[in-house]
Amino acid sequence: MGVIEDMMKIGMKSAKAGLEVTEELIKLFREDGRLVGSILKEMEPEEITEILEGTSSQLIRMVRSLHTPAVDVFERSEEFVIIAEVPGARPEDVQVRAGERFVEITANVPKMREGEAKTRERVTGEVRRRIDLPGKINPNAVSAKCGRGLLVVKAPKAEASEIEVKPMEEG
């Protein structure tokens, strides 16, 4: 736990001085990211945010990034397909929102209790991911299915509409 304590001390010094996250803190996170990540993944996002309250928003964004599901995004001729890992989540545990150029996924991924964890890499608890798409979609036609640990979202591309060009009136 020494890494976490060091990280918090540096973060608190930055926050008290009203500074952005220091290079020293970023270096520490990069060097020990795996260890820090594995420790932080054991905690709920609210617990982490509470501990780090008052530190730079950049650090909080780094920590929250540990609570995002892995996704693959594919582009087909008529649609974008997003596949997100949500192991153990039921359809009622998942929400999908869509805008003109994005899809946002929120899910509650349960922690599996199969005995004493020796390695824990899966993201659990509330996870959230916003996927910005390279083209416009029709948000009202987006569909989603959840099962076997995956969420599959199909987002049809917005159709270009033909516009009639009329002659200008002279005068």
Q: What is the pLDDT of residues 54-91, one digit of tens each?
A: 555 555 555 555 678 889 999 999 999 999 999 999 99
Cα atoms in the 13 Å half-sphere on the side-chain side of 29: 20
> Is the confidence at residue 161, as pLDDT, over 90?
no
State the pLDDT at residue 19. 41
Alpha-carbon span 21 to 15, nearest angstrom: 8
What SS3 class is residue 4?
Answer: helix
Over range 150-160, report the average pLDDT.
94
Give the type of residue at 81: V
Q: What is the pLDDT of residues 108-121, one digit of tens each?
A: 999 877 888 777 77
> Is the confidence at residue 155, as pLDDT, over 60?
yes
Contacts with 154 (C-beta within 8 Å, 6 or more apart), sequence order: 79, 80, 81, 142, 143, 144
State if pTM tops 0.75.
no
Q: What letters, b where the CB count within 10 A reaches 16 and e where it falls short, cover 10-21?
A: bbeebbeeeeeb
Q: Answer with the residue of higher pLDDT: 35 or 94.
A: 94
What's phi and psi for 132, nearest 5 deg? -85, 130
State the pLDDT at residue 21. 46
State the pLDDT at residue 27. 53
Q: What is the pLDDT of residues 6-44, one digit of tens each?
A: 656 655 555 544 444 445 555 555 555 555 566 666 666
